[in-house]
Amino acid sequence: MSLKEFVFGGQVKTGHSGGAYRDSIQAWLPIKNIIGGVVITKDNRFIKILEVLPVNIYLKSAGDRQNIISAFASYLKIAPDDLQMIARTLPADTQSYVEQMHRYAEQEENAACREMIEDSIQQIGLGIARNAMQHRFFLVFQYEARMRAKRNTVSAIVQRLNEEADTARRYLDLCELEVLEPRYSDNFILKLLYEILSKKTSQRVRLPDGVFDMTTAVHGIYEE
């Protein structure tokens, strides 16, 4: 199952429906909201998405490999029932890399180093990095009854899912796997959903300035 299928279910419909509010994420994403890094879908599911940085287990010693496998097996015993491990493969974002290299070149005082940076930029322009691929890995799970949030409210369910995420981080740390912790979790999820829904467009068109301000509460859907 792909990340898109898990979050959005079947075919994604476009247009405004279901009481979408102008100037809210409802108006252009097929979800109700994003709160505390948790996606709230239109069919009332609460989904948590964690991005995990992989480790090459074959570079580890036999003892370390066994420890990693044992730690991950221990996590699976207490993990959410519908836990999904999903990989996404897409062309590398060379544009961001080139922009960063240009900034480095402008700040570099050493002429030889600056020339090396400019050579790297030129090589990318010649298409050497054209076939470069980026691999991203995610753990995805949704709120389920056995998690038992303290109250049947949005905030309580979001808190409970984030507690599950903290548990995952502790176990994955034992596996020498790092879970990314973005400074602004809602913005991270919003950008990821945009990339999922607009795979080609997102490679050349970034989200407009101010779009993250749309991640506000959608009124009249949930009672606190």
- pLDDT tens figures, 68-107: 999 999 999 999 998 999 988 876 666 667 777 888 888 8
Task: For residues 163 and 197, state if they share a domain.
Answer: yes
223 located within any domain: no
> Counting runs of H as helices and runs of E as strands, what totals does the chain give?
7, 6
Provide the residue range defining the domain that includes 112. Answer: 93-131
CA dist 28 and 36 (Å) reads: 19
Domain check: are 34 and 81 in the same one?
yes
The larger pLDDT score, comparing residue 1 to residue 73, is at 73
| CB neighbour class for 187 (10 Å; exposed up to 12, middle 13-18, buried from 19) | middle
155-209: pLDDT as tens digits: 999 999 999 999 999 999 999 999 988 888 888 888 888 887 777 776 667 766 5
Please state, in angstroms and rounded to a whole number, the distance separating the CA atoms of residues 101 and 3. 32
Query: Is residue 107 located within the same domain as residue 79?
Result: no
Asked whether residue 14 is assigned to any structural domain, the reply reads yes
Mean pLDDT for all residues in the chain: 78
Domain end: 131, 151, 184, which one? Answer: 131
Residue 6 has pLDDT above 80, yes or no: no
Dihedral of the alpha carbons of 127, 133, 134, 140, in degrees to the nearest 10: 150
What pLDDT is recorded for position 10? 52
Q: Are residues 112 and 7 in the same domain?
A: no
Grade residue 139 by pLDDT with cuts at 50, 70 and 90: very high
User: Is residue 222 domain-resident?
Assistant: no
Distance between CA atoms of residues 24 and 155, nearest Å: 19
Average pLDDT, integer, range 25-46:
80
